[in-house]
Chain A
């Protein structure tokens, strides 16, 4: 059996439309037999944080950051035309009307198809996000750093930065 082609993605954005695009590509690649790894860093962590619960971090700046930046797939916004939430709400309606899966559904689908969902330890450390069970969704299987990302990327047919 021929070795699987790899797709590696670095997801730095936390925008709704970028999250959707990233997962659309990931699930399509997986359905084409590719081995997919997605590394979430900086704002990308918001996509894979749990929707419930708060972030217990230490220090005033970190507490403020994590209060303003709660994250979770339900809190993602459009990068443009968010219009204080109205635009995002409208896009979500359109998504529902056209049977497009939500980010939540995409993450579950991707995980089921074998896509690896990885969180960046450096961002976690800097932002004071405890890399524990409670912080990230169950689909997040690994926590890793840049070297691991590059280790995957150098063996990948396709590498993307979102």
Chain B
């Protein structure tokens, strides 16, 4: 999946990937896609939950080896 920006959260456990996503998403323009790369399996549930709470769009997951890539679309400011 294509992304406009990428956030590396490898080696970080919950809640750090989510906390960092909040910071990083501020740098994106509305409509842009953020890729978050993590190895904490919890992110597969955490990110959809975060999207539901914040209104951003959860686009999907891609897994390669121990890298889990989640994709979020910034839907509002």
Show the binding face of A for B, using Cβ within 8 Å.
24, 27-28, 31-34, 98-101, 109, 113
| Chain A residues positioned under 8 Å from B49 (CB to CB) | 32
- Taking a contact as CB atoms under 8 Å apart, the answer to whether A28 and B18 are in contact is yes
**What secondary structure prevails in chain B residues at the interface with A?**
helix
CB of B13 within 8 A of CB of A31, answer no
Chain A residues positioned under 8 Å from B1 (CB to CB): none
CA distance A32 to B18 in the complex (A): 9
Interface residues of B in 44-58 (CB under 8 A from A): 49-50, 53-54
User: Is the pair A32, B19 in contact by a Cβ cutoff of 8 Å?
Assistant: no
- B65: which A residues are within 8 A, CB to CB? none
- When C-beta atoms are compared, the residue in chain A nearest to B49 turns out to be A32
Contact with A along B1-43 (1 / 0, CB 8 A): 0000000000111111011011000000000000000000000
CA distance A67 to B47 in the complex (A): 45
Q: A28-B14, A99-B13, A113-B22 are in contact. List 14 more A-B contacts (CB 8 A).
A: A27-B19, A28-B15, A28-B18, A28-B19, A31-B19, A31-B21, A31-B22, A31-B50, A32-B49, A32-B54, A33-B54, A99-B11, A100-B16, A109-B19
Bound complex: CA A107 to CA B16 (Å): 14
How near does chain B come to A78, taking the closest CB pair, in angstroms?
18
Q: Once the chains bind, are A24 and B50 in contact (CB under 8 Å)?
A: no
Cα A101 to Cα B11 in complex, Å, equals: 12
| Contact present for A98 and B22 (CB under 8 Å) | no
Cross-chain contact B50 with A32 (CB below 8 angstroms): yes
Complex alpha-carbon distance, A21 and B32, angstroms = 33
> B53 contacts which chain A residues (CB < 8 A)?
32-34
Complex: A99 Cα to B13 Cα, angstroms: 7
